[in-house]
């Protein structure tokens, strides 16, 4: 499936609505005498994105939506809900953290797989 993106809209300084086109003019054609004597351009270029089916898609949500404030050296338990919203099973999940990050993964005793 192909998605065409023609413009972007946003709020400039959170006050002024703005819209910018993302389409660029096609190249100037000069193959025939008519094209060389007149300004003739190829079709406009649009941004096209290939969209793949959601074969494997992981949705993650923290159960506690409160603001997390930690002091130096403090550890706090956080619970996260993971669900597969794709069409195929997910065989592995990688947790990537920095040098100072620590992860402990605990699976509940009565959880479903």
What percent of the chain is predicted at pLDDT more than 90? Answer: 31
Q: What is the mean pLDDT of residues 1-14?
A: 88
Q: Is the pTM of this model over 0.75?
A: no
Range of the domain at 32: 2-50
pLDDT at position 113: 52
Q: Does residue 100 lie in a domain region?
A: no
Question: 64 φ, ψ to 5°?
Answer: -100, 110
Q: Does residue 45 lie in a domain region?
A: yes
Name residue, tokens 């609505």: 17
Q: Does residue 8 lie in a domain region?
A: yes
What's the total number of domains in the chain? 1
Q: Would you state the torsion angle of the CA atoms of residues 42, 45, 50, 51, taken in this order, to the nearest 10 degrees?
A: -130
pLDDT at position 10: 92
DSSP state of 36: H
Q: Does residue 13 lie in a domain region?
A: yes
CA distances from 18 to 11, 25, 48, 90 (A): 6, 21, 22, 41
Q: What is the mean pLDDT of residues 31-38?
A: 93
């Amino acid at each position: 499936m192909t998605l065409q993106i023609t413009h972007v809209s946003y709020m400039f300084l959170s006050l002024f609505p703005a819209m910018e086109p993302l389409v660029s003019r096609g190249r100037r054609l000069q193959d025939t005498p008519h094209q060389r004597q007149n300004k003739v351009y190829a079709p406009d270029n649009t941004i096209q994105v290939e969209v793949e089916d959601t074969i494997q898609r992981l949705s993650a949500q923290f159960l506690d939506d409160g603001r997390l404030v930690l002091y130096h050296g403090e550890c706090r338990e956080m619970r996260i809900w993971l669900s597969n919203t794709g069409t195929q099973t997910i065989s592995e999940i990688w947790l990537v953290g920095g040098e100072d990050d620590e992860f402990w993964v605990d699976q509940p005793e009565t959880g479903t797989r």
